Structure 1
Amino acid sequence: MSGDRSAPSITAIILTYNEHLHIGRCIERLKDWCQQIIVVDSFSNDGTQDIARSLGAQVHERRFVNQAEQFQWALDMLPIATDWVLRVDADEYFEPALVAEIRERLPQLDAETSGVTFRRKMIFRGRWIRWGTYYPVFLLRLFRTGAARVEQRWMDEHIQLNHGTACLFGGGDFVDENLQTIGAWTDKHNRYATRHMVDFVGRKYQFVPTEPMPTNRRARTKRWLRERVFGGAPLYLRSLLYFLYRYVARFGFLDGRLGFVWHFLHGFWFFMLIDAKIDEAEQQIARHGRESFPQWLADRYGFTDLLPGSGG
C-alpha cells in the first residue's frame, strides 16, 4: 500500500484472522498517517483479505503459530520500506490527538530514541474500563526498523528494543475496542487460555525456550508479578485473589455494571480457565510423563508445533 507520502515514514503491520468487523476501521484510521500498511492473514474465510486489499493494504498469507512468531516473521521476511514500524491489532485504533503527536514529534526524535510507548485504553461494550489496573497500560508499539524483536512466547509477548531507548507519546491513547459478541469474546479467550497453558507448562518442562525478562521497567514488573507472585500461588485460589485485588483493592467496582462483567470475565473466569487447563496438562504429565505432553497437546488442542520435527 502507498499511503500519504507526506505522512511519517511508518509501516503498520496487522495480524489477522476473520477480522471483517474490524479491519476496515483499522486501515481507514491508519492510511492517512502510515506510508505502508501490511496485513499478515492466517487464511481468513470471512472477507478480511478482500476488505484489506480494497483499502490498499498489502496482504500476505501465512499459517499462524502464535502472535510472537507471526510478527517476528513479518519483521524478518517482509519488505519494509520505512524508517519506523508500528504494531497494531485489527481491533485497535489511535485517537486523533495521539496521531497529531506522532506526526509532530516523530521526525524530531534523536537517533538514540529507537522506540515509542503509548497508553492503551480498553473499551468493553462501549464502556471505558478505567479501574482495576486497566488504565493506563503502557505498551511499546512503534520502533525504528531493525531496532526491535518480539519475545518468543505463546502469550503476553512484548516488543524488545535491540538498542536505544524508548520515549512516551502521551497526548492521546490508542484504543482497544472489540466489536464482537460476548460469545466470540469468550471463544477467543478460551483459545488465549490454551496458549497461556502452553506457555506456562512448556517453559516449566523446557519444551519452549525461556526468554529473558523484558528490559522495559513496567513490562519487567508485570512479568515478575505474573510469573513469580501469581505463578507461585496455588492454582484456582490465585484466580479468586487476583479478581478481588482488581475489583476491590484497585477499585474495579467503579467501572459500573459493564465494568463488573469485564473484571469478572477477564479477571476471574479467564484466569480460572487458564488454571484449569494447566491442571489438566499437569495431570496428563503426572500420569504419562513429560514426553507425552506434545502429542497430547496435538491430539486434544490441535497444536502440533511442540512435536519433534515440527520446527515449533
Structure 2
Amino acid sequence: MSAEPISTPQVAAFGPPVSVVILTKDEEANIEDCLRSCAWCDDVHVLDSGSKDRTTEIAARLGATVHYHPFTSFGEQRNWAIDNIEHKYDWVFHLDADERFTPDLVEELQSTIAREPDDAGFYVPHKLMFMGRWLRYAEGGYPIYQMRFFHRERMRFRDYGHGQREATDGRIGILHRPYLHFNISKGLDDWIDKHNHYSALEASETFALLSGKPTTSYSAFGNAIERRRFLKSRVYPKLPGTWFGRFVWMYFLRFGFLDGKAGLQYCLLMSSYDLFTSLKLSELQRKAKGNQERLPQPAVTADQIRPSPRATVGSERADKPDNGHPRPTSVVPSVGEREGMSFGQKEESPWSMREKIGRVVWMFVQGTLFRHSFHNWYMLRRMMLRCFGAKVGRNVRVRPTVRVEIPWHLELADDVSVGDFAILYSLGRIRIGRGTTISQYAHLCAGTHDYTKPQFPLICPPITIGQDVWVAADSFIGPNVTVGDHAIVGARATVVRDVPAAQIFGGNPARFLKHRQMSVPVAEQSPAAEPDR
C-alpha cells in the first residue's frame, strides 16, 4: 500500500460536514484502507482501546486524531466518544475499522445534511463482503441497517448482546446508500474468537429479557428493525432448533445459495453462532434453576480397589468362603503396582476450539444437506467437502449416505468412488489414491485409543490407500494401514496390517490370497513396430 498521508484539506472541501469516529483495537490489517475511504472528511478520529500492534501509529501517520479509552462495552465506548471527543461538526458517522465508505454514501450524506433534518439519526445499510464478493442474499437479504449516522446532541447508545442499540426519543430516518463491511478481514480465527465472546454476551442479554430484567425492549408492532429485534430477543429463544431454522432461512428461503460457495460458508458460520448462543442461554437457565449438571463418578476408584478390612493377610475368612472353597485371587493391581495410574483423571481434549466448532457445523451439514441431497448430485457433495477443507479431486463420486467424520483430514484423488453407507472415520488422515473404489458399508477407521494407559488417550494414525485399489463391501481397514497400488481387499475382510501392491487379501484377519493379474485393454497395448514405407 501507498504510505503517503491523506491530503484532507483539499479533499474535504468537497465533502459533507460530518465528523467520523472509528473504534479500534489491534486493527493494523484494516485501519489504512478504512482511513483512505475517509479521505473526503477533514475531521477523522480514531478511538483506540489499547492496541498492541501498529494501529495508532498508522492512524496518526494518515492524519487521524487518535484518542484512547479502555474498552468496557460498545455502547459505553460510543457514548464516551460523543461526550469527550471535540467533534468539528454536529453530525457524526461511526465507522468500524473493517468497514469502508462508498462514494454514493458520501453523496447521500451531503444531500441529507443539506435538508437540515430534525431526525436524531439515520439507519444506514451495508453490503457484507465475504471471500471477495458481496453476499446479497446470504446475510438475510439486502438491505440490513445499522445506526451509524446521527446528531451528537440527539443520540445515545445502550449495550445489547455483542453490540449496541440506539437510545433516543427523536425520530430516526433511513439512508439508502450502503457502506461496505469486510466481516472476516482479519481471518477466520479472529472471527471465531470474537463470536464466541459475542454469543456469551447475547445469551446474557436474552436471559435478562426472558427473566423479566431487560436492559431494553422492543415492540412487535414497531418498524421493521424493531420487529426484527423483538423476534430475535423474545420469540427465537423460545423456539427449538433456531440455529437450524436460521440456516434454512438464510440459505434457502432468502436464497443464500445464489451467493455460491461463499454464501454456504457464511450461512454455516452464522447458524453455528446461533447454536452456541442458544447453548449458553440454556446453561444460564439451568444455573438459575439450580439444576447444574454433575459429572459422572468414575467407574473405579482407589477406595474400591483397596482390600476390604475383613480381607487381611492371615485371615482364613479372607481366603475361604463359608462353603470351604478358596476365594478367587483378585487381578486388580495394588496401589504400589499401579505406579501412579489415575483412573478418574479426565483426559484433556485433543481438539482445539476451532476444530470443535467445525465438527459441530459439519455434523449439522452432513446430517441435513449432504445426507438428503439427490443421489447423483456428486458436484454438490464435492463442494460441501471442499468447503470444510477436504482435498477432493475431479470426478470424485461420494454417495449421500457416506459418513465422513472430519472432512479436513480427508484427501480424495481424481476418479475416487465411495459407496453407500461407507464410513470414513477420519480422526487421523485418510488418503485415497486415484481411481480407487471404496464399496458400500466399508469402514476406514483412522483412530483408536492407547489401551496401555488408564485414560485411554486418543491416537490417530493415518490410513493410506493407493491408486486403482478396490476395497470391497463391508470390509474394515484399521488405523496405520497402507494398502498398495492395484491391491484388492475382499468383502468383509478385516485389515490390520499393510497390504502390498497388486495383492489380494481377504478374511478375518485378512491374509494373502493371490496376486492380482491386471489385464491391459487392447487400445492400450503397444503395437508391433512396422518398417517404414
TM-score normalized by structure 1? 0.82
> d(CA) in 2 for partners of 1:46 and 1:64?
16
> d(CA) in 2 for partners of 1:125 and 1:59?
31
Alpha carbons 1:2, 1:35 under 8 Å: kept: no
User: How much does 1:217 deviate?
Assistant: 1.4
User: How much does 1:40 deviate?
Assistant: 1.5
Any residues of structure 2 matched to 1:188-227 within 5 Å, and which? 188-205=194-211, 209-213=214-218, 217-227=223-233
Q: How many residues matched? A: 281
Tell me the residue number matched to 1:71. Answer: 78
Tell me the residue number matched to 2:387. Answer: none
Q: Which of these residues, 250, 255, 262, is aligned with residue 251 of structure 1?
A: 255
Task: Tell me which protein shows more helix as a share of its residues.
Answer: 1
Question: Does residue 160 of structure 2 align to residue 153 of structure 1?
Answer: yes
> d(CA) in 1 for partners of 2:56 and 2:251?
39
Question: Does residue 111 of structure 2 align to residue 108 of structure 1?
Answer: no
User: How much does 1:126 deviate?
Assistant: 0.8
> d(CA) in 2 for partners of 1:83 and 1:155?
27
Q: Which of these residues, 121, 137, 140, is aligned with residue 144 of structure 2?
A: 137
Structure whose CA Rg is larger: 2
- Write the letter of the residue equivalent to 2:278: D
Q: Aligned pair in 2 of structure 1 residues 182, 122: CA closer, same or farther (>3 Å)?
A: same
Q: Aligned pair in 2 of structure 1 residues 249, 167: CA closer, same or farther (>3 Å)?
A: closer
SS of structure 1 residue aligned to 2:159: coil
User: How much does 1:283 deviate?
Assistant: 2.8
Tell me the residue number matched to 1:272. Answer: 275
Q: Aligned pair in 2 of structure 1 residues 46, 251: CA closer, same or farther (>3 Å)?
A: same
- Write the letter of the residue equivalent to 1:262: Y
- Write the letter of the residue equivalent to 2:265: V
Any residues of structure 2 matched to 1:1-312 within 5 Å, and which? 3-4=8-9, 6=13, 7-32=15-40, 34-103=41-110, 105-132=111-138, 133-168=140-175, 170=176, 172-178=177-183, 179-205=185-211, 209-213=214-218, 217-234=223-240, 237-266=241-270, 268-287=271-290
> d(CA) in 2 for partners of 1:216 and 1:74?
29
User: How much does 1:100 deviate?
Assistant: 2.5
Q: State percent identity of aligned pairs.
A: 28
Say what the alpha-carbon RMSD is for the aligned residues.
Answer: 2.5
User: How much does 1:205 deviate?
Assistant: 4.7
Alpha carbons 2:99, 2:179 under 8 Å: kept: yes
- Write the letter of the residue equivalent to 1:217: N
Gaps of 5+ in 1: 290-312
Q: Aligned pair in 2 of structure 1 residues 205, 25: CA closer, same or farther (>3 Å)?
A: same
Q: Aligned pair in 2 of structure 1 residues 257, 210: CA closer, same or farther (>3 Å)?
A: same
> d(CA) in 2 for partners of 1:197 and 1:212?
15
Alpha carbons 1:124, 1:177 under 8 Å: kept: yes
Instruction: Give 4+ residue runs of structure 1 displaced > 6 Å after superposition.
Output: none
SS of structure 2 residue aligned to 1:136: coil
Tell me the residue number matched to 2:306. Answer: none
SS of structure 2 residue aligned to 1:231: helix
Alpha carbons 1:8, 1:35 under 8 Å: kept: no
User: How much does 1:245 deviate?
Assistant: 1.6
> d(CA) in 1 for partners of 2:164 and 2:100?
20
Q: Aligned pair in 2 of structure 1 residues 255, 176: CA closer, same or farther (>3 Å)?
A: same
> d(CA) in 2 for partners of 1:85 and 1:23?
19
Q: Aligned pair in 2 of structure 1 residues 107, 240: CA closer, same or farther (>3 Å)?
A: closer
> d(CA) in 1 for partners of 2:194 and 2:124?
24
SS of structure 2 residue aligned to 1:151: strand
User: How much does 1:156 deviate?
Assistant: 4.5
TM-score normalized by structure 2? 0.49
Q: Aligned pair in 2 of structure 1 residues 197, 245: CA closer, same or farther (>3 Å)?
A: same
Q: Aligned pair in 2 of structure 1 residues 83, 35: CA closer, same or farther (>3 Å)?
A: farther
SS of structure 1 residue aligned to 2:150: strand
> d(CA) in 1 for partners of 2:217 and 2:155?
15
User: How much does 1:122 deviate?
Assistant: 0.3
User: How much does 1:224 deviate?
Assistant: 1.3
